[in-house]
Amino acid sequence: MKPSNYLTNAFRASRRNFGTLGLLLLLAGTPLAAQSPASANAQQNPPASPASAAPPAAAADSSYVIGPDDVLDISVWKEPDLSRSLPVRPDGKISLPLVSDVQAAGKTPSELAATLTTLLKAYVNDPQVTVIVTQINSRRVYVVGEVARPGAFPLLPDMTVLQALASAGGFTPFANTKKIHIVRTVNGHETQFPFDYHEVLKGSKPAENIQLLAGDEIVVP
């Protein structure tokens, strides 16, 4: 082999080796280049757990008014001794440690939460109070007389006489379905509304299928 050819082949081989070595060095350095200082800091100082953040406010119907016998879930953040589930007494009040008796009936959940927050500020640093109505017992209607299951039933939104009768399981064989009436007492004054079951079903007296209010009594003779 001529000297010139030998030098040429050696130069080409060294260039190939250098290219391979450079490629290996480039690949080996890629992970270090991809890890930015911000990424390294994130690994050393991970973000705070969601559990350490303040709990979100609970959703509630802002228009609902608490009444006697309703069951409330009262939560004071980071104060388990003050958090509890309890019923509203017949006098409309609830009892909590530190604040004693508090009027609950007649207030919305958000209004009661604001009242408790104000009262607890004297004992707790920055109290965060949430009030949720877990059982609505104050809003009931009553079905009495010749029905399968007489008694008190929760007043559902836009509940009608037919729906309440269905909740009571229908009539007994002795029911006089033409003489059903609804008794409503407002401010001590009693009003009666007639209800003819079969005429309402036929659609001839739809106005008698009235929307019920809390405390209404459906009498099936």
Model confidence pLDDT, tens digit, residues 73-122: 999 999 999 999 999 999 999 999 999 899 999 999 999 999 999 999 99
For residue 81, the model assigns a pLDDT of 94
Binning pLDDT at 50, 70 and 90, where does residue 12 land? low
Q: Provide the Cα torsion 181, 186, 189, 190; round to 10°.
A: 10
Cα–chain center distance at 197: 37
Pick the CATH number of 54-135 from 3.40.50.11540, 3.30.1950.10, 3.40.50.300, 1.10.10.10: 3.30.1950.10
pTM over 0.85: no
Tell me which of 36-40, 68-72, 178-182 is least confident: 36-40
Between the alpha carbon of residue 164 and those of residues 7, 148, 178, 216, the distances in Å are 105, 12, 16, 10
What percent of the chain has a predicted confidence (pLDDT) above 70? 72
pLDDT tens readout for residues 23-48? 444 444 444 334 434 444 444 444 44
CATH architecture of the domain covering 140-220: Roll (3.10)
pLDDT tens readout for residues 120-145? 999 999 999 999 999 988 999 999 99
For residue 133, the model assigns a pLDDT of 94
Domains of the chain, by residue range, sit at 3-44, 54-135, 140-220
For residue 61, the model assigns a pLDDT of 57
**Average pLDDT value for the chain:** 81
